[in-house]
A and B are shown apart, each in its own frame.
Chain A
Amino acid sequence: MNTLRDSLSILIGGPAGEGIMQSGRFLGRALARYGYHVFIDNEYPSLIRGGLNTSFVRFGSREIWSHNSYIHLLIAFSNDAINKHKGALVDKSIILYDPRTVRDLKDLNFKTISIPMLEMVRKIGAPDIVKNSVAIGAILYIIDINLDYFYEVIEKFFAKKVKNIEYNKKAAELGYKFIEDNYPDLRNYYDVEKPKDKTQKILLTGNEAIGLASIKSGLKFFAAYPITPASPLFHYILNKQFEKNIIVVQAESELAAINMAMGASYAGARAMVATSGTGFGLMTEGFGAVAMTECPVVIMIAMRPGPGSGMPTFTSQADLRFILHASHGEFARVVVAPGDVEEAFYLTGEAFNIADKFQLPVVILVDKFLAEGLKTVNYLDEDKIVIDRGKLVKPAPKSDVIEVFPRYLAKDYLIAERILPGTEGWVVNANITEHDETGWSKIIPEVREVMANRRIKKIELVEKYIKSSVKTYGDPSSDTLIISWGSTKGPILEAMHLLENEDINVGFVQVVYLSPFPRKEISRLLKGDKKVILIENNYTGQLGSLLKENLFFDPEFKMLRDNGLPFMPEEIYNFVMEVIKSD
């Protein structure tokens, strides 16, 4: 499996605080500019200095959906980087290391190349962190890519910081030259297929995809309390707040954040919060209030292993059922789980429209693997995000007397018209207590009956509205069918690629909307005598439990785990092979 020429995997590893993840991004961007498809997974402990950070950069001539179990080029800035990852090395692997920070490599049966990276950058008077660019230069020689692609990335990134541009370019050149002079035969050593399509690709994280689409969707208010792995979305919106006119507030808590967003939504802004499971715990009461007041709010949740603080910098899919049930009382909520950065972009656009049209909370549910992982896409079509604010109206004043707008009018339709406070001639009420159509409190069973039903049954309208709540890949009519949701899509598609190379075709059903739950579509796909494999990054099989609950269906094979790491394509490949062999 590891001999395929269609992709190559590079791991850069070293202590936190030394620019490991940034250099992964630089390398990835250079490759994407060259025309390669790129996928990057960063793993890092929750600390600021020391430890071991790694950036796994995989690229190829075809679309790359995830990282994998092999490392061809290992760039080591510490012994840890080698010790923890040598199991992934293959026959042709090369370890590039800095002799100042890596020692005693005698027992390794792999090609090792010592490059005095730190010494080289100190010689040119550059800061130590620039050593990463020496490594990138060396890599580019080995994979036979002109340094210019890296130079473009550096020039764009540092913009007017001339000195930084100069240092990084010089460093890359030194790295490139070092290999060229000492190991000239390594040029194009892996003979990776060159990209057929030379168009530059967009390389972005799930957080960035959601941020971009939110801005396009008219996001005007964003509140957050910093939390991994959702903070990068907060930072992204923060960085764009002035040019795109967005109010961004660092709230005193998640409690405050969601209530601020609810207020901003009532006043008319498209509003969003971002958090992870533990932060959403604090938002839960506000989540119900959003539903009760029917204020549209989009909530981005990036999962990490819990409970408690759990493992803040790792990935998980264990918060699904929590989110599906969060808050007391019953009401409609929408939960959408993109599987990759491209889906994150378009589904975020859809999330804002659904929130507005149906006046309810919409959760964009991702995990650390998708939120912080990077992937290339060819193109993002911003014109496909078309803003629809639903029944937001601006009635003319009725008379000289100020009227109360029937904000929660329940007569013939489920979704009431909405006006903004400040509309001339009208006042409008929002209320977390049970209320009648005026929004003034009315705590009597007859009113309750009507209002509660409106809030619950709107999910049926959402169901009719959503065009694609399930996606399929491979051959869904095959005897073996994988069912999963969210970011596992990447490793699953990669596993299917491995299977296809052995002429094994399986089907894959990706559940995109978890609420409303697409029972009809899934039921249709599960029909027939099949081996169904459930794959989830949790221990209890939460999608599995939804299948049981909604379809009385219990998948026979389950690949479940929540140890903090995303699945590897090879693990899934092996699991599927076992299933196929089983009777």
Chain B
Amino acid sequence: MIDAKVLDSGRMIKWCPGCGNFGTFRALKDAIVSLGLRQDQVVLVAGIGCSGTITNYIKVNTFHTLHGRVLPVSMGIKLVNPRLTVIGSAGDGDAYAIGVAHLIHAARKNIDITYIVHNNKVYGLTTGQASPTSDFGQVTRSTPIGALEEPVNPLALALSSGATFVARGFAGDVKHLTKLIIEGIKHKGFALIDVLQPCVVWDRVHSYSWYRERVYDLNEEGHDTSDIVAAFRKSFEWGDRIPIGIFYKVDKPTYEERLPQLKKIPIEEDLKAIKIKDLIEELI
């Protein structure tokens, strides 16, 4: 088994001290190690924002892409080489604002991608504006009188979009989050792992201790992960108690499995052997 240190790129990490990204990054590396995945067979696709720079710190195949476009890029990779383990990493702005459409459609397709969303309820790198998951009334740089919108409920959104694995972790509980990421990667199909991450600079309310006082593992309280109605109910629980863990998990054929042409790996085909005589004949 490789050591998690092997996964470090050696580049200086530029996140603020105490950033929630550290916990999520640690959990991701530990998950890759404990699954015994080969670095050269993993692709990490990341978006824009503080979390997006994760590709610079890890030594697997990476694709640092445009804001919001993590999932389409991940899909393109997975569909032409399903042997690769494709992991998406995005911020809450990426995943639930500018790229929210892709979440719905990747979930519908049940494509075998693990999507880790670093959800800190605020825009960090652009200096503290509201995010789609900011609480109603949350004061941020762009919401001086408090956020006027209801927050997006990522878990309910993923559930209603057909995601087959829906979970929530907490960056302050690396061990638990590691387990979730392991399960997400092992799961055949689309897995959303929403990670509650404190932003220690721009959000003084949702701190580590704020979360620690509230989060509990719903899987330890007898939650039935095969019950989508129960999962929906749990996804709306927010306040004094905040559930983390696996909300929903179901086995369904993946998009790749439904594509008959994927019996062959597209990138392994001998392109020079392709003939189109038959297709030309059709046009006579």
Q: Give A contacts to B, CB under 8 Å.
A: 29, 32-33, 156, 200-204, 208, 212, 215-218, 220-221, 223, 240-242, 244-247, 249, 251-253, 255-257, 259-271, 285-286, 289, 293, 380, 382, 387, 389, 402, 404, 420-433, 439-441
A218: which B residues are within 8 A, CB to CB? 269, 271-272, 274
Which chain A residue has the least Cβ–Cβ distance from B80?
Answer: A269
A260: which B residues are within 8 A, CB to CB? 72-73, 75-76, 79
Whether B280 contacts A441 by the Cβ 8 Å rule is: no
21 A-B pairs with C-beta separation under 8 A: A212-B280, A215-B279, A216-B274, A241-B261, A247-B80, A247-B259, A253-B101, A255-B69, A256-B69, A256-B72, A256-B102, A259-B65, A260-B76, A260-B79, A262-B65, A263-B74, A267-B77, A268-B267, A402-B38, A402-B40, A422-B40
Whether B79 contacts A221 by the Cβ 8 Å rule is: yes
Which chain B residue has the least Cβ–Cβ distance from A380?
Answer: B280
18 additional A-B pairs beyond A216-B274, A289-B69, A389-B271, beta carbons within 8 Å, are A201-B284, A202-B283, A215-B274, A221-B79, A251-B72, A256-B71, A259-B69, A260-B72, A263-B73, A269-B80, A387-B272, A402-B40, A425-B40, A426-B40, A427-B59, A431-B63, A440-B11, A441-B56
Q: How far is the CA of A433 from the CA of B54 in the complex (A)?
A: 13
Whether A261 contacts B284 by the Cβ 8 Å rule is: no
B6: which A residues are within 8 A, CB to CB? 402
B266 within 8 Å of A by Cβ?
yes
B226: which A residues are within 8 A, CB to CB? none
Which chain B residue has the least Cβ–Cβ distance from A33?
Answer: B284
A423: which B residues are within 8 A, CB to CB? 40
Whether B76 contacts A262 by the Cβ 8 Å rule is: yes
Interface mask (B264-284 → A, CB under 8 Å = 1, otherwise 0): 101101011011110110111
Which chain A residue has the least Cβ–Cβ distance from B104?
Answer: A252
Which chain A residue has the least Cβ–Cβ distance from B62?
Answer: A429
Given the contacts A247-B262, A247-B266, A429-B55, A204 and B76 also touching, CB distance less than 8 Å = no
Which chain A residue has the least Cβ–Cβ distance from B260?
Answer: A242
Given the contacts A256-B101, A269-B266, A427-B61, A286 and B80 also touching, CB distance less than 8 Å = no
CB distance from A421 to the nearest CB of B (A): 4
A268: which B residues are within 8 A, CB to CB? 80-81, 267
B267: which A residues are within 8 A, CB to CB? 220, 267-269, 420
A261: which B residues are within 8 A, CB to CB? 76
B66 within 8 Å of A by Cβ?
yes
B60: which A residues are within 8 A, CB to CB? 427
Q: How far is the CA of A550 from the CA of B187 in the complex (A)?
A: 57
Contact of A32 among B56, B260, B284 (CB under 8 A): B284
Q: 10 shortest A-B CB distances, which residue pairs?
A: A263-B76, A218-B271, A259-B72, A264-B76, A421-B61, A263-B73, A268-B267, A269-B80, A260-B76, A220-B266
B200: which A residues are within 8 A, CB to CB? none
Which chain A residue has the least Cβ–Cβ distance from B7?
Answer: A402
Q: How far is the CA of A257 from the CA of B261 in the complex (A)?
A: 19
Given the contacts A201-B284, A271-B76, A387-B271, A259 and B262 also touching, CB distance less than 8 Å = no
Whether A270 contacts B45 by the Cβ 8 Å rule is: no
Which chain B residue has the least Cβ–Cβ distance from A439?
Answer: B62
B65: which A residues are within 8 A, CB to CB? 259, 262-263, 289, 293, 430, 432
CB distance from B157 to the nearest CB of A (A): 14
Q: Give B contacts to A, CB under 8 Å.
A: 6, 9, 11, 38-41, 43, 45, 53, 55-56, 59-66, 69, 71-77, 79-81, 83-84, 101-102, 104-105, 259-262, 264, 266-267, 269, 271-272, 274-277, 279-280, 282-284
CB distance from B32 to the nearest CB of A (A): 12
Q: How far is the CA of A266 from the CA of B44 in the complex (A)?
A: 12
B45: which A residues are within 8 A, CB to CB? 263
CB distance from B158 to the nearest CB of A (A): 15
A249: which B residues are within 8 A, CB to CB? 75, 79
Which chain A residue has the least Cβ–Cβ distance from B282?
Answer: A156
B80: which A residues are within 8 A, CB to CB? 220-221, 247, 264, 267-269, 271
A441: which B residues are within 8 A, CB to CB? 53, 55-56, 64
Contact of A421 among B81, B101, B279 (CB under 8 A): B81
Whether B61 contacts A429 by the Cβ 8 Å rule is: yes
Whether A382 contacts B77 by the Cβ 8 Å rule is: no
CB distance from B94 to the nearest CB of A (A): 12
Q: How far is the CA of A296 from the CA of B55 in the complex (A)?
A: 21
Whether A267 contacts B271 by the Cβ 8 Å rule is: no
A429: which B residues are within 8 A, CB to CB? 55, 61-64
A433: which B residues are within 8 A, CB to CB? 64
CB distance from A202 to the nearest CB of B (A): 5
Q: How far is the CA of A36 from the CA of B72 in the complex (A)?
A: 46
Q: Which of A204, A267, A269 has the most CB of B within 10 A?
A: A267
Q: How far is the CA of A246 from the CA of B264 in the complex (A)?
A: 10
Given the contacts A33-B284, A216-B276, A242-B261, A263 and B72 also touching, CB distance less than 8 Å = yes
Whether A404 contacts B280 by the Cβ 8 Å rule is: no
Whether A215 contacts B40 by the Cβ 8 Å rule is: no
Q: How far is the CA of A525 from the CA of B101 in the complex (A)?
A: 51
Q: How far is the CA of A110 from the CA of B60 in the complex (A)?
A: 76
A217: which B residues are within 8 A, CB to CB? 271
A432: which B residues are within 8 A, CB to CB? 64-66
Q: How far is the CA of A29 from the CA of B281 in the complex (A)?
A: 12
B276: which A residues are within 8 A, CB to CB? 212, 215-216, 382
Q: Which of A240, A253, A430, A431 has the most CB of B within 10 A?
A: A430
Given the contacts A202-B280, A252-B102, A286-B66, A245 and B266 also touching, CB distance less than 8 Å = yes
Q: How far is the CA of A482 from the CA of B275 in the complex (A)?
A: 38
Which chain A residue has the least Cβ–Cβ distance from B256?
Answer: A247
A244: which B residues are within 8 A, CB to CB? 274
Given the contacts A429-B64, A430-B64, A246 and B40 also touching, CB distance less than 8 Å = no
Q: How far is the CA of A426 from the CA of B61 in the complex (A)?
A: 8
Whether A427 contacts B39 by the Cβ 8 Å rule is: yes
CB distance from A171 to the nearest CB of B (A): 23
Whether B283 contacts A263 by the Cβ 8 Å rule is: no
B280: which A residues are within 8 A, CB to CB? 202, 212, 380, 382
Whether A266 contacts B76 by the Cβ 8 Å rule is: yes
Q: Which of B6, B39, B63, B76 has the most CB of A within 10 A?
A: B76
Whether A267 contacts B56 by the Cβ 8 Å rule is: no
Q: How far is the CA of A420 from the CA of B265 in the complex (A)?
A: 13
A32: which B residues are within 8 A, CB to CB? 284
Q: How far is the CA of A100 from the CA of B274 in the complex (A)?
A: 50
A259: which B residues are within 8 A, CB to CB? 65-66, 69, 72-73, 76
